[in-house]
């Protein structure tokens, strides 16, 4: 009852409802009579940034931006490409530029409707006929979220925008943060298997768990960013201790830096940034796609992707994805299984839109190869062969996730949309894994076996309103929302002794008994967490959105409890925090965007431990702060973002002289990032950049380690990838990528470190037709040199690199 009362309070604080979009199809064969364009619309000047791409995609982007309904025959434009449209234009000017060179003409048939005349010759007489008209415009309003996915940027590897939490879908040039949205095209062409695989394109991101450990956890700008949101919602994606099966995902969006005001407080803080996954939706073009895959050593997979739209106006869309992959990996003795089914349904009607996602995922890894802790006062041993596996052959991890989400939008007016969204996840996990510590330079490891069964339930519910309007010369994009996240963990575990071994030459131990441990669903509740918040933001712009100022704030409440297995509450935490944000975008010219922001991240506070003078004192949530400035250059076919930032994160310390526990410690990361993407030359695509980081410990306990480098944070990271379409063999593309990470310390004293490492990936793909059916064959090699090196997990532990891995797949379009 208490939880329901809090939920009602949050949802009543922000307007919630439902929203709409219109999707029309086959409208009759007769053309509407021409009518004059609305005078206001004729004079309206709008800024566009639409690259050369599929004409159908470009028209949808234009209709959404201009608020115009467009009628045309989708079959006639299917193989055409538009001319780039970058700059500020009236509707007539924009369409003239967009359609130049296509042979298609347009005419206004209503105050805000356009018909495209799409001629086609029949027979040999040269006669012209007009095919039946189909409506492809009438896109949802700009403030909506359903049906407003940003189009691909030139080259197709990243998108032109992403979800920015409370601010909605934003073009990257209008976003006052550094952000990148990786597309389904990139995911397929690189044969990614997880979110971590996709993030290997980003120079600001490093995975916490390399070595096929079966976990999607990452750092951004040197800080944790392990909570992955699903369409903007925490607690839905199977990511807290699992890998998101990427085959059901349309986009992987990365927003860098603290973002508590935008997304609400993440369950674990997400100081480094936010990673959001966007599920697939059915498009207007039907899709039936089958992919068969092989991964060394003997892993085989099958993936089916089917999408259809139904109804006379294509109002109902259904997208199904199914995956099974099983077999042994290049890591010695390690086998992995992934099974997944996902269903995405969306509905569009006048002033109403809705979507539902349902999914089930099961993963097993046997044996595991988890990171190694390192004993103090020893040098880090040399990394073994990347095929090595120090885990016992009976160790394993079995996880299953059942998840779902929904979203409903209602357009109260053409410029006001109310919405309600929510989702949840139910997870069961069983682990038989080792907690090992390296004790000397010859590779000796000691530790214990952890036997655990657990169940986790989590979810989010959110309601809000987005509106657009003007007050005099100032344009407003306003948003308000209230949400509630909840999490419950049930767990039963015990440890068993494990004899000493050596990670260079594993010795075998008997499997411990798992008898008597409750099954995951029967495990007693040991932890709960609730995060409640109300957020409001307004982006005020002038001079045709050339100057945009965003002011926002969120009030956040954190409630957490720990329980004994008997059900008795052992600790109770209830604190709140206020998170403001201010951001500015200035566009002196169309191709240049200068931005800056001040933003915060929140993490649950701590209680002073037993033994401290102030034992039991409860601290408010930790507040991390970011100051960032940057510049974005968009040349139409390629773009670059350069940003400089400083993030400070509080640390809890105990004063060695007063024995008082406080949150007076600090880690400060200062950095410079460069990110480039696009197709600067026809048939040549680039993606990547570098990050320079200076991460220091500040305000340390008693001055010990003051000014030292923060553990687990390299000072230089480089990710550069490219693709080349071979001009003398149509359909063939060659690819390559280099990843470099400088050396890192793994302790605060800076006496233990891991060396720098470099990885080279190569690949090729060939696209052709068989019996008029599209076929794409892809071949990739990751870690071509089979380099063995340590990566740093959670700042202080060692994870071993993946070995050389061969990937081969064939995709058939039916």
392-405, pLDDT tens digit by residue? 999 999 999 999 99
pLDDT band with cut points at 50, 70 and 90 for residue 138: very low
Per-residue pLDDT at 241: 59
Per-residue pLDDT at 124: 30
pLDDT band with cut points at 50, 70 and 90 for residue 314: confident
Of 754, 751, 746, the C-alpha closest to 712 is: 746
* Phi and psi angles of residue 509, each rounded to the nearest 5 degrees, phi first: -125, 155
Distance CA 14, CA 245 (A): 33
Express each pLDDT in 436-448 by its tens digit. 999 999 999 999 9
Burial code of 506-532, b = ≥16 C-beta within 10 A, e = fewer?
beebeebeeeebeebeebebbbbbbbb
715 with 668: CB under 8 angstroms?
Answer: no
Which residues on neighbouring strands pair with residue 486, listed in sequence order? Answer: 459, 530
Express each pLDDT in 238-297 by its tens digit. 866 568 889 999 999 999 999 999 999 999 888 999 999 999 999 888 999 999 999 999
CA 44, 49, 55, 56 dihedral sign is: negative
Express each pLDDT in 681-709 by its tens digit. 999 999 999 999 999 999 888 888 999 99
Question: Strand locations in 699-756, DSSP E?
Answer: 716-725, 732-741, 744-745, 753-754
Whole-structure pTM value: 0.85
251 with 195: CB under 8 angstroms?
Answer: no
The stretch 230-244 carries a mean pLDDT of 85
Highest mean pLDDT pick, 105-109, 112-116, 425-429: 425-429
Per-residue pLDDT at 35: 47
Per-residue pLDDT at 562: 92
What count of residues does the chain have?
814
Q: Which two tokens stand for residue 308?
A: 């259809």
Q: Which one has a higher pLDDT value, 122 or 24?
A: 122
Cα dihedral: 656, 657, 663, 667 (round 10): -60
**Angle at which helices 91-99 and 55-66 cross, to 10°:** 170
Distance CA 445, CA 499 (A): 9
Q: Cβ contacts of residue 81 below 8 Å, gap of 6+?
A: 52, 53, 54, 55, 58, 102
Q: Which two tokens stand for residue 693?
A: 């980081």
624 with 649: CB under 8 angstroms?
Answer: yes
The stretch 597-615 carries a mean pLDDT of 86
Express each pLDDT in 59-79 by its tens digit. 888 887 777 888 887 777 767
Q: Which two tokens stand for residue 234?
A: 């925490």
CA 174, 177, 178, 179 dihedral sign is: negative
Distances, alpha carbon 290 to alpha carbons 33, 558, 777, in Å:
45, 45, 12
- Please calculate the CA angle 230-233-234 and round it to the nearest 5 degrees: 90
Q: Cβ contacts of residue 320 below 8 Å, gap of 6+?
A: 304, 305, 306, 307, 341, 342, 343, 344
Distance CA 307, CA 304 (A): 10
Of 518, 685, 691, the C-alpha closest to 51 is: 685
Q: Are strands 732-741 and 716-725 parallel, antiparallel or unpaired?
A: antiparallel
Name the percent of the chain lying above pLDDT 70. 91
Task: Give the containing element (helix H, strand E) for 557.
Answer: strand 547-563
pLDDT band with cut points at 50, 70 and 90 for residue 195: very high
455 with 428: CB under 8 angstroms?
Answer: yes
pLDDT surpassing 90 at residue 134: no
Per-residue pLDDT at 118: 67
Distance CA 694, CA 406 (A): 42
Per-residue pLDDT at 33: 36
Which residues on neighbouring strands pair with residue 406, listed in sequence order? Answer: 422
Q: Which two tokens stand for residue 511?
A: 């499997």
The stretch 131-139 carries a mean pLDDT of 41
552 with 466: CB under 8 angstroms?
Answer: no
Of 620, 611, 527, the C-alpha closest to 571 is: 527
pLDDT surpassing 90 at residue 32: no
Question: Strand locations in 205-281, DSSP E?
Answer: 205-207, 218-220, 223-224, 228-230, 249-256, 273-279
Q: Cβ contacts of residue 510 below 8 Å, gap of 6+?
A: none
Distance CA 795, CA 799 (A): 11
pLDDT band with cut points at 50, 70 and 90 for residue 42: low
Per-residue pLDDT at 318: 97
Q: Which one has a higher pLDDT value, 137 or 98?
A: 98
Per-residue pLDDT at 210: 61
Q: Cβ contacts of residue 37 below 8 Å, gap of 6+?
A: 91, 92, 108, 111, 112
The stretch 168-180 carries a mean pLDDT of 95
Peptide bond into 367 cis (omega under 30): yes
Name the percent of the chain lying above pLDDT 90. 69
Q: What is the CA radius of gyration of the chain?
A: 27
Per-residue pLDDT at 214: 61
Express each pLDDT in 292-313 by its tens digit. 999 999 999 999 999 999 987 8
Per-residue pLDDT at 330: 94
CA 195 to the chain's CA centroid:
8
Per-residue pLDDT at 126: 31
* Phi and psi angles of residue 516, each rounded to the nearest 5 degrees, phi first: 90, -10
Which residues on neighbouring strands pair with residue 169, listed in sequence order? Answer: 163
pLDDT band with cut points at 50, 70 and 90 for residue 216: confident
For the beta carbon of residue 801, count every other beta carbon within 10 angstroms.
19
Task: Give the containing element (helix H, strand E) for 97.
Answer: helix 91-99
């Amino acid at each position: 009852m208490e939880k329901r009362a809090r939920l009602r309070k949050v949802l009543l604080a922000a307007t919630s409802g439902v929203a709409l979009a219109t999707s029309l199809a086959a409208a009759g064969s007769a053309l509407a009579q021409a009518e004059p364009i609305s005078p206001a619309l004729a004079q309206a000047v709008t800024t566009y940034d639409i690259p050369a791409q599929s004409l159908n995609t470009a028209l949808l982007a234009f209709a959404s931006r201009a608020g115009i309904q467009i009628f045309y025959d989708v079959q006639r434009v299917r193989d055409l490409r538009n001319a780039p449209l970058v700059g500020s234009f009236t509707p007539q000017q924009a369409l003239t530029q967009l359609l130049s060179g296509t042979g298609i003409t347009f005419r206004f048939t209503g105050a805000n409707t356009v018909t495209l005349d799409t001629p086609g010759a029949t027979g040999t007489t040269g006669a012209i006929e007009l095919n039946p008209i189909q409506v492809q415009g009438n896109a949802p309003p700009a403030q909506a979220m359903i049906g407003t996915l940003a189009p691909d940027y030139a080259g197709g590897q990243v998108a032109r925008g992403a979800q920015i939490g409370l601010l909605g879908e934003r073009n990257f040039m209008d976003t006052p943060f550094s952000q990148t949205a990786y597309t389904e095209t990139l995911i397929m062409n690189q044969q990614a298997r997880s979110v971590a695989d996709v993030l290997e394109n980003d120079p600001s991101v490093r995975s916490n768990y390399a070595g096929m450990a079966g976990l999607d956890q990452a750092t951004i700008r040197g800080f944790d960013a392990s909570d992955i949101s699903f369409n903007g919602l925490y607690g839905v994606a199977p990511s807290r201790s699992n890998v998101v099966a990427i085959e059901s995902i349309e986009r992987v969006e990365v927003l860098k830096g603290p973002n508590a005001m935008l997304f609400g407080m993440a369950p674990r803080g997400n100081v480094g940034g936010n990673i959001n996954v966007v599920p697939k939706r059915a498009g207007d073009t039907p899709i039936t796609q089958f992919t068969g895959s092989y991964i060394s050593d003997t892993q085989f997979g099958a993936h089916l992707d089917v999408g259809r739209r139904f109804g006379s106006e294509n109002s109902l869309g259904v997208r199904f994805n199914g995956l099974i992959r099983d077999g042994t990996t290049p890591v010695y003795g390690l086998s992995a299984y992934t099974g997944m089914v996902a269903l995405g349904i969306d509905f569009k009607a006048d002033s109403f839109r809705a979507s539902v996602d349902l999914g089930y995922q099961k993963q097993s890894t046997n044996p595991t190869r988890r990171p190694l802790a390192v004993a103090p006062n020893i040098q880090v041993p040399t990394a073994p062969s990347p095929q090595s596996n120090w885990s016992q052959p009976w160790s394993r991890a079995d996880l299953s996730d059942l998840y779902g989400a929904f979203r409903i939008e209602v357009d109260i007016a053409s410029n006001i949309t109310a919405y309600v969204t929510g989702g949840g996840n139910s997870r069961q996990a069983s682990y038989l894994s080792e907690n090992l510590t390296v004790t000397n330079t010859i590779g000796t490891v000691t530790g214990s076996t952890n036997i655990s069964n657990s169940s986790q339930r989590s979810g989010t519910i959110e309601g809000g309103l987005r509106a657009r309007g003007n007050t005099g010369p100032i344009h407003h994009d306003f948003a308000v929302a209230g949400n509630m996240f909840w999490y419950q963990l049930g767990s039963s575990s015990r440890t068993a002794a494990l004899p000493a071994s050596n990670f260079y030459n594993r010795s075998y131990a008997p499997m411990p008994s798992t008898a008597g441990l409750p099954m995951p669903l029967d495990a007693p509740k040991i932890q709960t967490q609730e995060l409640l918040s109300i957020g409001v933001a307004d982006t005020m712009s002038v001079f045709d959105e050339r100057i945009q100022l965003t002011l926002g704030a969120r009030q956040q409440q954190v409630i957490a409890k720990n329980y004994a297995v008997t059900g008795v509450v052992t600790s109770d935490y209830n604190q709140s925090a206020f998170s403001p944000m201010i951001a500015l975008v200035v566009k002196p010219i169309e191709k240049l965007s200068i931005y800056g922001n001040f933003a915060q991240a929140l993490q649950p506070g701590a209680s002073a431990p037993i033994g401290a003078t102030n034992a039991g004192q409860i601290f408010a949530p930790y507040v991390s702060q970011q100051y960032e400035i940057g510049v974005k250059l968009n040349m139409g076919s390629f773009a670059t973002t350069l940003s400089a930032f400083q993030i400070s994160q509080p640390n809890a310390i105990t004063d060695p002289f007063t024995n008082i526990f406080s949150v007076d410690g600090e880690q400060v990361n200062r950095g410079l990032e460069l990110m480039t993407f696009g197709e600067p030359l026809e048939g040549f695509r680039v993606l990547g950049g570098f990050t320079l980081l200076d991460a220091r410990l500040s305000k340390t306990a008693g001055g010990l380690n003051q000014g030292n480098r923060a553990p687990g944070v390299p000072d230089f990271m480089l990710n550069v990838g490219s693709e080349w379409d071979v001009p003398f063999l149509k359909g063939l593309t060659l690819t390559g990528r280099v990843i470099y990470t400088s050396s890192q310390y793994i302790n605060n004293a800076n006496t233990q470190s891991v060396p720098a490492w470099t990885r080279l990936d190569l690949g090729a793909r060939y696209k052709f037709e068989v019996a008029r059916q599209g076929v794409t064959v892809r071949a990739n090699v990751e870690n071509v040199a089979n380099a063995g090196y340590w990566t740093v997990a959670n700042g202080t532990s060692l994870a071993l690199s993946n070995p050389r891995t061969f990937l081969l797949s064939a995709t058939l379009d039916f």
